[in-house]
Structure formats: structure tokens, C-alpha cells
Amino acid sequence: MLAMTEEPNNLTLQHLRQIRAEMQEGFAKLTTEQALTSHKIGTLAEGMVSMRQSIEGLRNDMRMVSLAVDEHTTRLDRIEVGLNLPDA
């Protein structure tokens, strides 16, 4: 009679071990995916910082161009006044 109870116990233990192995495998995959996702997020963040710096550089360039255009416009206005040219 003892042998009959041992068989279900062994079967249950076997299933529990299989479930544990599957869970460990799942957690290992999850950990790997988490590391990959973390790396991708870090790379994306670095790219965004680089893009922000580039945009700020472009803004500064546009300010410089705007200042140069303003200076040239002022100079042309003075030349037109000096030459008594009518306003366009």
C-alpha cells in the first residue's frame, strides 16, 4: 500500500521540479530581455541628448545668421539714404 502513495508523490514532485525549471528558464529570458531593453533605452537617451545638442547648435547658428542679416539690412538702409534712393 505504501508503494501506491509513493508513485503519486513522486509524480507530483516531478511535475513541481519541471514547473520550477520552466520558471527559472522564464526568469532567465526575462532578465536577458530586461538587460537588452535597458541598453536600448540608454542608447536612445544618448541619441536624444546628442540631437538636443545639435538643435541648440542650429539655434545658435540661426541667431548668428539673423544678426548678420540685421547688420546688412541696416547697412543697406544707410547706403540707400546716402544715395537718396526711394524706399522699395
Residue 6 clears pLDDT 60, i.e. is over it: yes
The one-letter amino acid code at 11 reads L
Residue 27 clears pLDDT 60, i.e. is over it: yes
The 10 Å CB-count burial string (b at 16+, else e) for 65-84 is eeeeeeeeeeeeeeeeeeee
**To which residue does cell 547688420 refer?**
71
% of the chain exceeding 70 in pLDDT: 93
Residue 88 binned pLDDT confidence (cut-offs 50, 70, 90)? low
35-62 mean pLDDT: 97
C-alpha cell at 63: 541667431
% of the chain exceeding 90 in pLDDT: 82
